[in-house]
A and B are shown apart, each in its own frame.
Chain A
Amino acid sequence: MLDIAFAKPALPESGALVLPLAEEDLGGGLVGEWDRLLGGSLARGLAAAEFKGRKGQVVTLFAPGGGLSRLVLVGLGKREALDAGGAEAAGGHAVAALGKEGIASIDARAIGGWAGAPADIALGAALRAWRFDRYRTKEKPEDKPRLTGVKVLCDDPPAAKGEWAARRAVADGVFLTRELVSEPANILNPPEFADRLRKLEKLGVEVEVFGQKDLEKLGFGAMLCVSQGSAQPPRMVVMRWNGTDQKKRDSKPIAFIGKGVTFDTGGISIKPAGGMEDMKWDMAGAGVVSGLMMALAGRRAKVDVVGLVGLVENMPSGTATRPGDVVTSYSGQTIEVINTDAEGRLVLADVLSYCKKRFDPAFMVNLATLTGAIIVALGNEHAGLFSNDDDLAKRIEEAGKSVGELAWRMPLGEAYDRQIRSDIADMKNVGGGRAGGSITAAQFLQRFVEGCPWAHLDIAGVAWGGKDQPTVPKGATAWGVRLLDRLVAEHHEGRQAQPAPAPAETEEAAVSGAGSASPAVLAEGTPGSEAPLPAPDLPARPAAEPAPAPRGTRRPATRRPRR
């Protein structure tokens, strides 16, 4: 991670200076101040480069005077629209523009209006500067990025430093996730993944690792059928962070669950070769849960939280699960495996029901690179969000918006659930056709949450980025760490976890128009009055008894009964 420091504004003796400016700042005091220090070169440079301060506009002036090697101007757009995301993006743009500089100062004074602004810039810079180059052994030193530290210039450095601590912990979590996701599958197999999570113990996280035998004893038939084709044994890791004063026994934690398929060949239903190398990141859900636990522990979050990851490798072999096999899950429900490449839901099924049974959490959120269909549906900007709890879903959407990790709600419903009925078992692991493939996957998972408030984030489209974003370099994004950290911070920290209200079927919740009649209305018939027009050859309907079961259509209170 970049070295981050905060200091009072002063002309750096050497290196680079970054000056983020809003559109309204051009010609203002800040520009004037630097222009004087730099002997007029700033004003000339602004004019020559036609720098207007537009959002994302970046201009570099080389050797601007004052001993500086370069001056980077970063546009912030309109001041009124500037928020934490804009500050982070400015930090990210700055890092991208610093090239071979070893050290740089960023003047954060143009970004303000909230306490953490300088720290937000620092976070953006740190997130963008991360790089995974463990396996580049021949890269020449001059080709490697040289930036080692950033000094953020602001009016109140101690306060900024205080704000930075929590952000730094989150950045550490993001980096753990990105590293796990970037690692190739011959290095990061399930045992290695579990070993790396042991290191979280230093932060105070309790880490329990379950091996093949433990999982067999527990009866994880669904998860084990995925790993049985691989030479690598499976692992389930349970991480526990107790940040409240509550006794562990009394606490009702919140729970995060991740799919960790360290490599997914598809198994016997093997994938086409093109693009299969990307399947090393089929453990991104588990990576995000791991990074989230590190972030929460790192910033000593006042919350009781458990993180569970199911780690397997999905390989074809003589011992691999076949299409048509029937397995018994931890919950006791049986599953007909139709497609061995729909393995993530098998792993999650057992981990979800284990989590519910052991911890009875206030809610469960799982993350998984689950379906290609979610990319066909939404693309790469939004993760798919499925939930049986409207409040939880709304909170996730809001948290995502505030950190720039967007989630889009997708539907659930009985008709989708019927598509995974099996003729031989309680369910099959894929729907009939490809239609609605992400939804049928979510329906499958929902069968294992046993009424617990639950959300499923299908992150197949957002876990890996094809190009650089302001604060996310190309590659592993760690999408979700920041969202869930924000969710915890805004709704669950420093208070006892509140069990959310009973889950509502989304389909019914969305229904409007023909509402269901209340029993009171239905019971207002007046039995006993004469029925007109008795039909000669038809048996008559007897008078309604009071308070029949409510039903879907409305009937007026003055309905005349018949006999």
Chain B
Amino acid sequence: MLTLRLTELPRPGLPLAYPAIPGEPLPPAYAAVAAAAGFEAGRGGALRLDGVVQGRPAWLVGVAPGPHGMEAAGALAAASLAGEGPDGPRHAVIDARGLAPAEVAALAMGAGMRSHRLPFLGAEPPPALRQLDLLVEDAAAAEPALARVRAVLRGTGLARDLAAEPGNRLSPRDFADRLGELEGHGIEVVVHGRHWLERHGYGGLLAVGRGSAHPPRLVVLRWPGHGPGGTPPVAFVGKGITFDTGGISIKPAAGMEAMKGDMAGAAACAGAMLALALRDSPAPALAVLAIAENATDGDSYRPGDVLRMGSGTTVEVVDTDAEGRLVLADALHHARRQEPRAIIDLATLTGSIVRALGHQRAGLFGNDAGLRDAAMAAGEAVGEPLWPMPIGEGHRRDLESDIADLRHCLPAGGGGGWAGKFLPDACHAAAFLREFACPEGAPHIPWAHLDIAGMDLREEGVESGPYPLPPGPSGFGVRLLDRLVADRFE
């Protein structure tokens, strides 16, 4: 974890980065070198300055125009300062004098996102930047914004670390244990095990977890907030499949290792709770995390099985690899029973949404225009953009089953002709979840469903997010939820 510190006096000798803003003149010593090297600040690149600043390596970092330019510059500064070899510095400084507190915070956010080190389980962890000083004129003025950045970075870091953990190190029990550590931050943690789930009839979560040697968990996190008493919480619901083999409908081998990250939705919810707690948000919040391993086993649930869900609805299983919507359905039902102000669920749910929106936007479904607009705005603001997607009448009709109240997906390639090969599975999944998030005739609770498949993992060579970051779990959703709560629920 990168330590971010404000300082008003630079320590001599530390490597330094200087954010260059297009249209603003550079200090003369820098300007000459920049001009000679053809450096254009607006392109967002970095230029190493040797011998310009006495006794220390220095970088000019261009701030590209656009809403995330300053944050991108922070990330680029951290990357440049850290260097590439094993002997890179552990401590560096960014000259942020003259910048507003929000800009200092953006620099810090970018640097923090870039410098986060995922768990490394080998003998010698790769070197990393440990501490970054931000040189400012008035540290006290910038501190509140920076404190907030630290909270969000720790939340994002938690989500990224959890998603990076391999399936053998993060079983449902391990995941629940890790979440138990959040109690140290004032978050109440309740872990429901198999027997509790059986008693309450949470048949979706139980069925998915049945094939695994590690039974499922429903974990409920509560942040009390400190607003006026009686304010209902905002609820996050997360899909937490610690490893997804696909079950009996087993996945092809290629790329299956990435399925250790199929709990990124739950991890993001947990990270958002941590961020809210660390920045002492006044808004009460609740997270319901459906945690299970979808394993292939003699006792796995089968295609064709009919499940009775926690809500009493019966569901015909078509494809055991569409397990996320089953565990979410029970978690959404549980969340509804807490009578929250709104429900936002996050899940790495479908390949279909990746086909639809690529790696630039997550899919946003829901039942409430106000919440949709707020979520869109929050996503744009923090660089985790969404795009609204439809739940059509036809999508719901497609889920009709001959044997149960619903089927949970359509058979792959089941339709006729050329067009029948293509299924709008993301829309089908959302239509399915709606039956549990807002059952017909039940009181309206604003609900938003974020299908974050395609955004949860940065892949080598695939552009994703507003600026480049190293491959690995992205923590997508933590910042968005934090911002959404700040804008709409505080």
Residues of A with Cβ closer than 8 Å to B? 271, 274-279, 372-373, 375-382, 406, 408, 410-411, 413, 415-416, 418-419, 431-440, 460-461, 464, 466, 507, 510-514, 516, 531-533, 535-542, 544-545, 548-556, 559-562
Contact = CB atoms under 8 A, between A and B. Distances in A.
Interface in B413-438: 415-428
Contacts of A277: 417-418
A71 B135 CA distance: 86
B392 A551 contact: no
Given A379-B392, A416-B358, A551 B54 contact: no
Interface stretch (B17-25, B264-272, B275-283): B17-25
Given A539-B52, A542-B25, A555 B422 contact: no
Given A275-B421, A513-B67, A562 B97 contact: yes
A528 to B, nearest CB: 15
B27 interface: yes
A278 B415 CA distance: 13
B53 A416 contact: no
Contact of B102 (A410, A431, A542, A553): A553
Contacts of A514: 67, 102, 381
Nearest to A274: B421
Interface in B151-207: none
Contact of B100 (A431, A434, A555): A555
Nearest to A413: B360
Contacts of A434: 355
A512 B380 contact: yes
A512 B52 CA distance: 39
Nearest to B466: A415
A470 to B, nearest CB: 13
Contacts of B428: 379
The 4 A-B pairs with the shortest beta carbon distances in the complex, nearest first, are A436-B358, A513-B381, A548-B23, A377-B356
A436 B356 contact: yes
Contacts of A510: 376, 380, 385
A434 B8 CA distance: 50
B87 to A, nearest CB: 23
B356 A541 contact: no
Given A436-B355, A553-B102, 6 more contacts: A376-B422, A377-B424, A416-B358, A511-B380, A513-B380, A537-B54
A552 B65 contact: yes
Interface of B: 8-10, 12, 16, 21-30, 42, 52-56, 63, 65-70, 95, 97-100, 102-103, 106, 135, 137, 352-361, 376-378, 380-382, 385, 387, 389-390, 392-395, 398, 415-428, 454, 462-463, 483
A278 B417 CA distance: 6
A552 B70 contact: yes
A373 B356 contact: yes
A411 B418 contact: no
A276 B418 contact: yes
A415 B463 contact: yes
Given A381-B390, A559-B100, A552 B68 contact: yes
Given A275-B421, A464-B419, A541-B27, A377 B426 contact: yes
Given A377-B424, A537-B12, A439 B419 contact: no
Contacts of B376: 510
A516 B63 CA distance: 14
B15 to A, nearest CB: 13
A276 B416 CA distance: 11
Could you say which of A279, A542, A545 has the most chain B C-beta atoms within 10 Å of its C-beta?
Answer: A542
B386 to A, nearest CB: 10
Nearest to A464: B419
Contact of B360 (A382, A415, A533): A415
Given A379-B395, A533-B8, A541-B98, A418 B463 contact: yes
Contact of B463 (A419, A544, A555): A419
B45 to A, nearest CB: 16
A278 B67 contact: no
Contact of A435 (B30, B52, B454): B454
7 contacts: A379-B424, A436-B356, A532-B137, A538-B10, A545-B24, A552-B67, A553-B103
Contacts of A544: 24-25
Could you say which of A276, A375, A437, A438 has the most chain B C-beta atoms within 10 Å of its C-beta?
Answer: A375
Given A408-B390, A415-B463, A552 B69 contact: yes
B423 A541 contact: no
A376 B352 contact: yes
Contacts of B137: 531-533, 560, 562
Contact of B419 (A380, A406, A432, A535): A380
A537 B53 contact: yes
Nearest to A432: B462
A234 B25 CA distance: 58
Contacts of A438: 356
Given A275-B421, A466-B417, A513-B377, A538 B355 contact: no
A277 B418 CA distance: 8
A550 to B, nearest CB: 8
Could you say which of B23, B103, B417, B419 has the most chain A C-beta atoms within 10 Å of its C-beta?
Answer: B419
A533 B139 CA distance: 12
A50 B340 CA distance: 42
A381 to B, nearest CB: 4
Contact of A551 (B23, B53, B358): B23
B65 A541 contact: no
